[in-house]
């Protein structure tokens, strides 16, 4: 299959199924989130640069407090906005918190303005109004007409270089603004320092250090212009700098070649003919200005914009062709949009010479691996990394090696929790890097020292002063007095401990295996049999008296309530089912979860979930319950897994600009879609088994790195035929509703025979 891409908010995928002589046309969307948290810009798969429009400059702070509106700008771009303030080079995709937005560039013409102005009156600043009808977002390419200045903006990228192409009208006052004060989740003191060196009339270099989600993040750049600028200047917005040294001898605001300060905006001025194109190349580096310049020379030594665009789209075609599907038009849109999302993060974090900034803030060289960052592990351990173990095993191997490098460089000797740009953010709970490490070792993906990896996992799990781990080790649970998310922490630690046990078992470390297997049963200590729910437990052993099973606030859980978290025992669902009264009662309880009604007050306590992201009480828009629909298989009612999975696929994923019911969270929501559309899901990463559901595709061919192919075929597939009559793997019946990783990687065919009626045997 060959995929030719023109995709985005108004874009088209052309799929050419040569072997079937089919050429269906569909319209997938890059930005498909209820909250608008996926950027619609130019990047390559796993690229360091994500060059994208920012549609406003909302401050993180308002009157000394958190500004709730900033949450809508986690990716910098909100589809509902009518103005663009510029194009910055680094973004997160689908996160519930944010940072980045480095090195914003905006073309203007006419009177020079060095402030962004306001959205209600864009002509008060350098921002511009735009229309979605004049906007095109493709994989590796973005284009928009900036109406106020009559400028056509086009963007593409290589791995470390953002390439801009601006078509200007005739003007003696054309400008390119470089805003080094702008950022996402910005506030007055976020930028620590900025430095710019004007090397000549078409090249500048510099760096910016910020304090935010990552508190010591320095990013270097080299910016090259296709046309020499006739003049340039800067404005330093920092009015509170008491001491300015003796640099005051110079006029630093006009044509001065060395600029330093906290909040700098620069302008570069041109005279342009009608329709003249001015191009920019911005290379970034985590290490130095010199490396940024070398990245520029190595990756894009020319000025051929269309060549870089073609190379970027070829790289996307290569990755997206790893799975070839035949399905309905809407599902085709959703499937390849999901694949696009899963190949954005994690991001490469090293230069062309393989140097990168380490967690110790030193410069390191990745000799035998590609160094990655942007590990949103509380989300992505569930499905994204298991998906990589099938479709991107070499990359996932490098990602685990990157986590081990993080551990080696960590002053606390811990594997990453949520890391990006040589920083640990400590966001969310659990130590789920051990799940990623375990899954890669169990499935034979990790080529590093597995014994050292086990020791790193154990060290992380025994860090007593991190989020109640000491109490968890001593008492078997995290006491409610010690931690506001005591129950979810206990449940997640128990699962992670089971993952460590699986590594130990594979390495014949029997004593370690038995110790961590015992720890993995600690989930039982927060299960209150009297009410049948997981519940906060006090240090004296009693359960918390004031407890609301529907509330997400102050009940001991993170991003969920006990209705969802009470099913979070992915490593031992059989025992969980027995504790809840056996298979029949367990299935009835699952039925209630999917059919109950949540009161409006539930949504007043959640920032990132609306009613559209919930089915009954099942919260698909947040991840803790992503495995729950598959638990019917353990209860002997697999037809309900099939029914629920197809319902979730149809209700929570739509080919529209707000098509996701929650944050994509660096690809986790999309990875769930891909797995479930193919008919299987990793309920417990760290196991080599997948639980079978109901495929939404008619046919899918997975091209594996080992040269083999694995085919999923669904006979009599349709929107009504959601139930599975029988399953056959390579000609042999499958009766236990599981698929092993080995069977998948050995290649072959998994055939589902579909029906409109459930098979209740």
What are the tens digits of pLDDT across the range 198-238?
999 999 999 999 999 999 999 999 999 999 999 999 999 88
Predicted confidence at residue 8, as pLDDT, reads: 34
- Distance from CA of residue 187 to its chain's centroid? 23
Q: How far apart are CA 262 and CA 244, in angstroms?
A: 12
pTM: 0.95
Contact by Cβ (8 Å): 221, 104 = no
Q: Is the pLDDT of residue 650 over 70?
A: yes
Do the domain assignments include residue 752?
Answer: no
Predicted confidence at residue 27, as pLDDT, reads: 35
Phi-psi region of 65 (alpha: psi -120 to 50; beta: other; left: phi over 0): beta
Predicted confidence at residue 610, as pLDDT, reads: 73
Q: How many Cβ atoms from other residues are within 10 Å of residue 201's Cβ?
A: 14
Q: Cis (ω within 30 of 0) for the bond into 346?
A: yes
Query: Regarding beta strands 203-210 and 151-157, do their DSSP bridges make them parallel or antiparallel, or are they unpaired?
Result: unpaired
Position 4 confidence tier, pLDDT thresholds 50, 70, 90: very low
Q: What is the mean pLDDT of the chain?
A: 93
Predicted confidence at residue 761, as pLDDT, reads: 76
Predicted confidence at residue 621, as pLDDT, reads: 87
| Residue 25 DSSP code | E
Name the H helices within 224-366: 289-299, 305-320, 329-342
Element (H, E) at 712: strand 709-715
Do the domain assignments include residue 456?
Answer: no
Q: Is the pLDDT of residue 32 over 60?
A: no
Q: Is the pLDDT of residue 12 over 50?
A: no
Do the domain assignments include residue 55?
Answer: yes
Position 37 confidence tier, pLDDT thresholds 50, 70, 90: low
Which backbone phi and psi does 619 adopt, to 5 degrees?
A: -100, 95
Predicted confidence at residue 33, as pLDDT, reads: 52
Position 244 confidence tier, pLDDT thresholds 50, 70, 90: confident
b/e for 293-304, b at 16 or more Cβ within 10 A? bbbbebbbeeee
Residue % of the chain over a pLDDT of 70:
94
Predicted confidence at residue 26, as pLDDT, reads: 34
What are the tens digits of pLDDT across the range 620-642?
988 999 999 999 999 999 999 99
**Number of residues that this document lists for the chain:** 761
Residue with tokens 């769930």: 672
Predicted confidence at residue 34, as pLDDT, reads: 47
Do the domain assignments include residue 511?
Answer: no
Do the domain assignments include residue 501?
Answer: no
Predicted confidence at residue 607, as pLDDT, reads: 63
Close Cβ partners of 33 (under 8 Å, ≥ 6 residues apart): 94, 658, 659, 660, 662, 663, 664
Q: Is the pLDDT of residue 583 over 70?
A: yes
Do the domain assignments include residue 426?
Answer: no
Q: Beta-strand (E) ranges in 511-599?
A: 527-528, 533-534
Residue % of the chain over a pLDDT of 90:
87
| Residue 358 DSSP code | -
Q: Beta-strand (E) ranges in 158-190?
A: 161-168, 171-179
What are the tens digits of pLDDT across the range 94-148?
998 999 999 999 999 999 999 999 999 999 999 999 999 999 999 999 999 999 9
Do the domain assignments include residue 160?
Answer: yes
Phi-psi region of 534 (alpha: psi -120 to 50; beta: other; left: phi over 0): beta
Find the CATH number of the domain harbouring 275: 2.70.98.10
Contact by Cβ (8 Å): 192, 81 = no
What are the tens digits of pLDDT across the range 528-576?
999 999 999 999 999 999 999 999 889 999 999 999 999 999 999 999 9
Do the domain assignments include residue 51?
Answer: yes
86, 534, 495: which is closest to 280 by C-alpha?
A: 86
Q: Among 304-308, 603-607, 646-650, whose mean pLDDT is lowest?
A: 603-607
Contact by Cβ (8 Å): 669, 554 = no
Q: The tokens of 747 are what? A: 């290649």
CA torsion 328→744→686→705, rounded to 10°? -90
Position 36 confidence tier, pLDDT thresholds 50, 70, 90: very low
Contact by Cβ (8 Å): 146, 153 = yes
Question: What is the rounded average pLDDT of the residues 176-182?
Answer: 97
User: 215: helix, coil or strand?
Assistant: coil
Range of the domain at 55: 27-316
Q: How far apart are CA 194 and CA 206, in angstroms?
A: 7
Position 24 confidence tier, pLDDT thresholds 50, 70, 90: very low
Q: Is the pLDDT of residue 322 over 70?
A: yes
What are the tens digits of pLDDT across the range 452-479?
999 999 999 999 999 999 999 999 999 9
What is the tally of structural domains in the chain? 1
Predicted confidence at residue 207, as pLDDT, reads: 98
User: 587: helix, coil or strand?
Assistant: helix
Position 656 confidence tier, pLDDT thresholds 50, 70, 90: confident
Predicted confidence at residue 15, as pLDDT, reads: 33
Distances, alpha carbon 454 to alpha carbons 396, 419, 499, in Å? 17, 20, 10
| Residue 647 DSSP code | H
What are the tens digits of pLDDT across the range 717-745?
999 999 999 999 999 999 999 999 999 99
Predicted confidence at residue 608, as pLDDT, reads: 65
């Amino acid at each position: 299959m060959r995929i030719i891409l023109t995709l985005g908010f108004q874009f088209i995928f052309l799929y050419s199924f040569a072997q079937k002589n089919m050429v269906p046309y569909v319209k997938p969307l890059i930005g498909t989130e209820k909250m608008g948290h996926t950027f619609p810009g130019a990047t390559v798969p796993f690229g360091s640069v994500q060059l994208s429009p920012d549609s406003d400059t909302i401050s993180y702070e308002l009157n000394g407090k958190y500004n709730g509106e900033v949450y809508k700008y986690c990716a910098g771009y909100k589809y509902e906005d009518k103005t663009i303030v510029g194009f910055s080079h680094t973004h997160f995709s689908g996160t519930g918190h944010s940072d980045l937005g480095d090195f914003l560039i905006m073309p203007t013409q006419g009177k020079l303005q060095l402030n962004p102005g306001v959205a209600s009156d864009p002509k008060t600043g350098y921002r511009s109004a735009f229309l979605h009808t004049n906007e095109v977002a493709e994989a590796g390419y973005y284009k928009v007409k900036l109406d106020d200045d009559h400028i056509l903006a086009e963007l593409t990228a290589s791995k470390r270089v953002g390439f801009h192409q601006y078509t200007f009208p005739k003007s003696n006052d054309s400008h390119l603004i470089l805003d080094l004060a702008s950022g996402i989740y910005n506030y007055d003191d976020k930028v620590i320092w900025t430095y710019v060196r004007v090397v000549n009339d078409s090249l500048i270099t510099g760096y910016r250090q910020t304090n935010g989600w990552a508190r010591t993040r320095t990013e270097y750049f080299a910016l090259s212009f296709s046309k020499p600028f006739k003049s340039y200047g800067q404005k330093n917005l920092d009015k509170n700098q008491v001491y300015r040294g003796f640099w005051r001898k110079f006029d630093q605001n006009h044509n001065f070649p060395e600029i330093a300060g906290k909040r700098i905006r620069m302008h570069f001025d041109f005279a342009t003919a009608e329709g003249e194109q001015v191009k920019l190349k911005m290379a970034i580096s985590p290490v130095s200005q010199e490396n940024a310049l070398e990245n520029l020379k190595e990756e894009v030594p020319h000025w051929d914009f269309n060549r870089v665009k073609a190379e970027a789209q070829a790289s996307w075609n290569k990755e997206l062709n790893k799975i070839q599907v035949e399905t309905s038009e809407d599902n085709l849109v959703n499937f390849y949009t999901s694949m696009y999302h899963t190949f954005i993060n994690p991001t490469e974090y090293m230069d062309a010479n393989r140097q990168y900034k380490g967690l110790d803030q030193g410069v390191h060289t990745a000799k035998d691996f590609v160094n990655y960052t942007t590990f949103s592990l509380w989300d992505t351990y569930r499905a994204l990394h298991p998906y990589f173990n099938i479709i991107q095993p070499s990359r996932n191997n490098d990602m685990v090696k990157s986590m081990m490098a993080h551990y080696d460089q960590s002053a606390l000797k811990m594997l990453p929790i949520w890391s990006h740009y040589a920083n640990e953010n400590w966001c969310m709970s659990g130590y789920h890097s051990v799940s990623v490490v375990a899954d890669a070792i169990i499935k034979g993906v990790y080529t590093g020292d597995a014994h050292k990896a086990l020791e790193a996992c154990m060290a992380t799990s025994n860090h007593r002063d991190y989020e109640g781990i000491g109490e968890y080790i001593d008492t078997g649970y995290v006491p409610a007095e010690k931690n506001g998310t005591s129950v979810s922490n206990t449940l997640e630690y128990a699962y992670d401990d089971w993952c460590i046990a699986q590594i130990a078992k594979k390495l014949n470390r029997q004593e370690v295996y038995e110790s961590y297997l015992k720890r993995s049963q600690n989930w039982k200590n927060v299960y209150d049999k009297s009410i049948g729910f997981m519940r906060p437990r006090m240090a004296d052993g009693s359960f918390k008296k004031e407890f609301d099973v529907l509330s997400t606030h102050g009940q001991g859980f993170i991003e969920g309530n006990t209705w969802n978290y009470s099913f979070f025992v992915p490593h031992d669902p059989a025992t969980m089912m027995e504790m809840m009264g056996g298979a029949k009662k367990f299935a009835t309880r699952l039925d209630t979860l999917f059919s109950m009604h949540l009161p409006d007050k539930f949504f007043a306590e959640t920032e990132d979930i609306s009613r559209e992201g919930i089915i009954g009480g099942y919260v698909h828009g947040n991840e803790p319950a992503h495995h729950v629909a598959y638990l019917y298989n353990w209860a002997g009612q697999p037809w309900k897994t099939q029914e629920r999975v197809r319902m979730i696929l149809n209700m929570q994923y739509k080919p529209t600009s707000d098509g996701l019911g929650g944050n994509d969270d660096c690809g986790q929501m999309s990875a769930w879609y891909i797995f479930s559309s193919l008919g299987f899901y990793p309920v417990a990463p760290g196991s080599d088994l997948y639980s079978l559901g109901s495929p939404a595709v008619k046919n899918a061919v997975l091209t594996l790195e080992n040269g083999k192919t694995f085919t999923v075929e669904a006979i009599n597939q349709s929107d009504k035929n959601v139930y599975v009559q029988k399953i056959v793997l390579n000609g042999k019946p499958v009766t236990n509703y599981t698929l092993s990783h080995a069977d998948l990687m050995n290649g072959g065919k998994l055939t589902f025979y579909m029906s409109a009626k459930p098979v209740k045997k």
